[in-house]
Structure 1
Amino acid sequence: MTKTRSSGAVQHKSFGLVLQALVVLARKGDTCSSCEMAELLSSEATLLRKTMAKLTRAQILVTKEGRDGGYGLNRDPEELTLAEIYQALEAGEVCSKAGNDPMCGNVPGERMIDACSDIFAEMDRSMMAVLEKYSLADMVRKSGC
């Protein structure tokens, strides 16, 4: 059985994709289907739907069914922080998880987890503090798209 080294890269990739999709929604100001967004972002609609479902559960997005349906923002982009988006994706504490993954399974690994846990937790808090400083509206302005 092969163990993956870290899921952190996948979570960061999903976060980047979702940020792009949310910028599209914020600029459009209306609903947008997953197929339309996937085409704009050169992604797969099924992957996008999977990640957008998490944002819908967190009430960051709303969905509209029907011919003109799709996803729409349920929050003001000025008030929606990147930290909230990141947490909705269940990507929080990536440093802790990524650091622990390759160390598990033996006594030295367990000791390293104990030795590093405070450092990884501090890294997670630092990252969230940075993400709290920025809103979706900031990303719309910065991206210039």
Structure 2
Amino acid sequence: MGTNSSRMTVATHTLTWMAHVCPRRPDGIVTSDQIADSVNTNPVVIRRTLGHLRDAGLVESRRGVGAGWRLTRDPQTITLKDVYLAVEPEPLLALHAATPNQKCPIGTGIPPVLRDTYDRAEESMKRELATVTIADVLRDTLTSPS
């Protein structure tokens, strides 16, 4: 069985927390330790996540005095699809790594059928994620009953 990735959740939490906290700071900078405290994970996990988000152009880092991270885009313009594409390198659903028995009619025919179905499912998910922004997540998080 494959593993269940929480990269998307950690990245969304990170960006949502940043969208809430960064505007309250004169320089808009936060540290990975501060973010890790909210996510309740190791700062190394947050730094790895921030690296992917930086590569996607969603955050930037500052070195030296006042080092840390800040958003590069308005939270209204960052969709969950952007986050997903930044942190999930593998398809949501994947075929088995081993080639099925090519002498079996199911083994021969099932990979393209499943690949097409999985591709359509992933595209549907991406369309849905594109309708929700980090600003939406922040608003709904702050107004939802705990």
Per the normalisation by structure 2, the TM-score is 0.83
**Greater helix fraction, Structure 1 or Structure 2:** 1
Matched, 1:22 2:21: no
Matched, 1:66 2:60: no
- Alignment match of 2:32 (pick from 34, 37, 49): 34
User: Aligned-pair RMSD on alpha carbons?
Assistant: 1.8
- Going from structure 1 to structure 2, the CA distance change for 1:71 and 1:122 (only over 3 Å counts) comes to same
- The letter of the residue matching 1:139 is V
Q: Which position in structure 2 is the counterpart of 1:101?
A: 96
More divergent stretch after superposition (62-71 vs 125-134): 62-71
- The letter of the residue matching 1:62 is E
Tell me the distance in 2 between the aligned counterparts of 1:33 and 1:6.
32
Q: CA deviation at 1:67?
A: 4.0
Q: Which position in structure 1 is the counterpart of 2:52?
A: 54
- Going from structure 1 to structure 2, the CA distance change for 1:41 and 1:112 (only over 3 Å counts) comes to same
- The letter of the residue matching 1:101 is H
- Going from structure 1 to structure 2, the CA distance change for 1:70 and 1:109 (only over 3 Å counts) comes to farther
Large movers: runs of 4+ above 4 Å: none
Q: CA deviation at 1:116?
A: 0.9
How many pairs are equivalent? 134
**Which residues of structure 1 form unaligned runs of 5+?**
none
Tell me the distance in 1 between the aligned counterparts of 2:96 and 2:29.
39
Q: Among all aligned residue pairs of Structure 1 and Structure 2, give the percentage whose two residues are the same amino acid.
A: 20
- Going from structure 1 to structure 2, the CA distance change for 1:64 and 1:141 (only over 3 Å counts) comes to same
SS at match of 1:63: strand
- Going from structure 1 to structure 2, the CA distance change for 1:133 and 1:67 (only over 3 Å counts) comes to same
Per the normalisation by structure 1, the TM-score is 0.83
Q: Does the Cα contact within 8 Å between 1:92 and 1:124 map onto a contact in 2?
A: no
Q: Which position in structure 2 is the counterpart of 1:126?
A: 124
Q: Which of structures 1 and 2 has the bigger CA Rg?
A: 2
Q: Does the Cα contact within 8 Å between 1:6 and 1:101 map onto a contact in 2?
A: no
Q: CA deviation at 1:105?
A: 3.2
Q: CA deviation at 1:50?
A: 0.9
**Which residues of structure 2 form unaligned runs of 5+?**
23-27
Q: Does the Cα contact within 8 Å between 2:8 and 2:88 map onto a contact in 1?
A: no
- Alignment match of 2:75 (pick from 74, 77, 80): 77
Tell me the distance in 1 between the aligned counterparts of 2:110 and 2:18.
43
